[in-house]
A and B are shown apart, each in its own frame.
Chain A
Amino acid sequence: MTYSTNPITSLELTLPNELGYELVARDAVAAFARRLGMSLDQIDDLKTALCEACINAIEHGNSLKPDLRVEISCRVEDERLVIEVCDEGVCPFAPKSEPLSIMEKLAGLGSLRGMGLMLISQLCDESGFVSRNGTGNCFRLAFQRRHVTRLGR
């Protein structure tokens, strides 16, 4: 399926590679999503998913190196909001063959961390790493825009 991108309605943001700045990104992208008329519930999901993706980029992709940057782009494709979170790829993403389930983690079979990607996948309509020109990991999150419904009008 191909989507037509609106090149005008786009936002780019770059951040220092430091934990905590994902909250600034969260507030910037939430404001952008509000401008697009997305519902508050969906914006809440977006905020959580974006924070998880940024933390992954800062902690893993950029290995907490303070001189690196995280780039975030947001664009509108038809009725979707597409967000990409890109790092500089100090540590390329390598998928685990069989990630542990929540029950296995709770049973003490592995770290209680490492649930970010699973959480993101539950909150977005589409998510995953995409290939990128140049170096670095690029993680894409897409939301089918559900507009605010106004009652009584």
Chain B
Amino acid sequence: MGKSDNLSPEPVEKIIELRLPSKLGYERVAMDTAASLARRMGFHDDRVESLKTAVSEAVTNAIEHGNQQDAAVKVVVLLTARDDELIISVADQGRKILDQGCTTRSPQITDVLEKFDKGGWGIWLIRELMDEVEFTTAPSGGNQVRMVIHLEQ
């Protein structure tokens, strides 16, 4: 048996790349694109809804924070479809670098109720809804979130 026979085959993957204006509202384009691909892959409706919410939060963060709503710069969304999972990567240009401490903290509802700004739930929601979540630096130097949702047969 040759050496190459011991290696498991590379997973077959199909990649869709989407480049969106950094303007609030356009996260819906990413949501609908991800949902369309997920339905085609065979995800159940409730998982598709979870995916849409997570994509919406990730792209909204990229538009509002990472790209500071400068519509001329793009948010890049990569959707990688494999046989058993869908990987979604959302990258911005890093006008504001994400505090890594924000990526692990869970907001407390009692604290949030006392604040005027009721936001800050996005990352927590993404972690709750996706099977794997990782915050890294994009090739552009900006923020990148990589989310994975597993396909249960």
Binding site for A on B (CB under 8 A): 14-21, 23, 25-26, 28-29, 31-33, 35-37, 40, 71-72, 74
Contact = CB atoms under 8 A, between A and B. Distances in A.
Interface residues of A, number: 23
A130 B31 CA distance: 31
Nearest to B15: A16
13 contacts: A8-B72, A13-B17, A13-B18, A16-B15, A20-B40, A21-B14, A24-B16, A24-B36, A24-B37, A26-B36, A32-B29, A35-B26, A35-B29
Please list the 4 inter-chain residue pairs (A to B) with the smallest Cβ-Cβ separation, ordered nearest first: A27-B36, A31-B32, A28-B33, A12-B19
A109 interface: no
A8 B75 CA distance: 12
Interface string A18-43: 10110110111011101100000000
**Main SS of chain A's interface residues?**
mixed
Give the interface centre of B19, B29, B35 by most chain A CB atoms within 10 Å.
Answer: B29
A8 B21 contact: yes
B33 A24 contact: yes
A13 B23 CA distance: 17
Contacts of B29: 11, 28, 31-32, 35
